[in-house]
Structures are given as structure tokens and as C-alpha cells.
Chains A and B, each alone.
Chain A
Amino acid sequence: DIQMTQSPSSLSASVGDRVTITCRASQSVSNYLNWYQHKPGKAPNLLIYAASSLQSGVPSRFSGSGSGTDFTLTISSLQPEDSATYYCQQSYSTPLTFGQGTKVEIK
């Protein structure tokens, strides 16, 4: 199985801050890397697919980059509604696997 490791596990930042979350795969997943936002009591929401493609309807302050084993999700200007847990997921090979999540809190 491909292991996905996110860092940090949690962070606290102020409104307007630039936030970066990293995700590392235990082997190359090419660009088969997705990012999700998950809020309590709601279904996860796809933000980024194929490492850097913005899902329709997702605000442009979210962006993704990387290929191979190292990936980044960036929120360019943190908003109050961005408080959530963020997960990366590789869809390169089965079993598909998620990172352990990064909890983002607003100061």
C-alpha cells in the first residue's frame, strides 16, 4: 500500500494568512493526488484533483502543486470558513489511501 503522510497534523493561523499543508507519498503517485476539505457533520468536499486542478466551485484561494512524492496545498488568504480538516488522497493505485489529516483552526 502507498502511505500518505501529511504535515503538520494541526495548525492555527489568522484570517488573511497564507497557509501551506504538505503531503508526502511513500512512492511516486505521479499527479494522482487529490485534496479534500472536511467539516464536522458534513461530507468531505473535493478541492483539488490531479495535484493542481481546482474543482469547479472551489474558491481560487485554494491551490495545489507537486508531483511524484511531494505535494502541497496552499490557502493564499485564510478565511473563517476554511476552519476544517484537510486530507490528501492518492488515486494512483488501489488501495486508494488518505493522509492522516491536517486540522486548520482560526486564531
Chain B
Amino acid sequence: EVQLVQSGAEVKKPGESLRISCKGSGYSFTSYWISWVRQMPGKGLEWMGRIDPTDTYTNYSPSFQGHVTISADKSISTAYLQWSSLKASDTAMYYCARQNWGDDYWGQGTLVTVSS
């Protein structure tokens, strides 16, 4: 069974760093890109970027380039989304998804709350 399991909810202060994870199982992790998608409270879905776990090549949305880093460790079938300095506006639900013809499998989501 294909699964993407994300790390748990986080509560952070502005300026702090954070890395959340997305672990794939039940398929060849290096055969599919992993995308990250944000949903801010009460808003729609936003594509942040994606990574090819084979060689860690990444594409970013210009809206997120420079503010987040997407990485992956194929040896443990895990992708990451990382911030070096969080802002209150980063408060959102974050999803990872396996990119096939469409994003066919999704993680359960990680809620990130940034508040002083």
C-alpha cells in the first residue's frame, strides 16, 4: 500500500527554524517527484515546489523561492520542507504529495502554527 506519512503538528515562534518530513512507503521512492502544497487558514491550495528524490533536483514556485528549502534523503525514503526563519504568515497546513499523472497520493498534512 502506497503511503506518505508526515511528521506531527508544530508550534513555533517567529524567527525559529523548522523542518517537517514526509516518509514514503509501498513504492519506489525515487520513481516519483514529491511536491509540497500549502493551505493557509480559510484559503485555497498553493503549490510550493517539488523534488526529484533520485538526484534532489528541485523546482520552486517564485512565491516560495528563497523562503523554504525542499530536500530529500532517498536512503530513508523521506522528503523535507524546511524554514530557517519562520514568520507568522507561515501558519498553515502543509501537504506532501506524490506526483504522477496528477498528485495521486497525499500525506495527511502537517499543521504549522507560528505565534509569539
B53 at the interface (CB under 8 A from A): no
Distance, CA A56 to CA B101, complexed state (A):
12
B-side interface residues toward A, CB under 8 Å?
Answer: 35, 37, 44-47, 49-50, 59-63, 95, 97, 99-104, 106-109
Cβ contact of A98, chosen from B44, B60, B62, B100, cutoff 8 A: B44
13 contacts between A and B (CB under 8 A): A1-B61, A36-B102, A36-B103, A43-B97, A43-B107, A44-B95, A46-B104, A85-B44, A87-B45, A89-B103, A94-B61, A96-B61, A97-B47
Residue of B nearest to A96 (CB): B47
Q: B103–A44 contact, CB under 8 A?
A: yes
Q: B95–A89 contact, CB under 8 A?
A: no
Contacts of A53 in B (CB 8 A): 101
Total A residues in contact with B, Cβ cutoff 8 Å: 25
Q: B59–A95 contact, CB under 8 A?
A: yes
Shortest CB–CB separation between residue B26 and chain A, in angstroms?
15
A55 at the interface (CB under 8 A from B): yes
Contacts of A89 in B (CB 8 A): 45, 47, 102-103
Distance, CA A34 to CA B108, complexed state (A):
20
Contacts of A44 in B (CB 8 A): 37, 45, 95, 97, 103, 106
Contacts of A95 in B (CB 8 A): 47, 49, 59-63
Distance, CA A101 to CA B39, complexed state (A):
12
Q: B102–A91 contact, CB under 8 A?
A: yes
Contacts of A1 in B (CB 8 A): 61-62
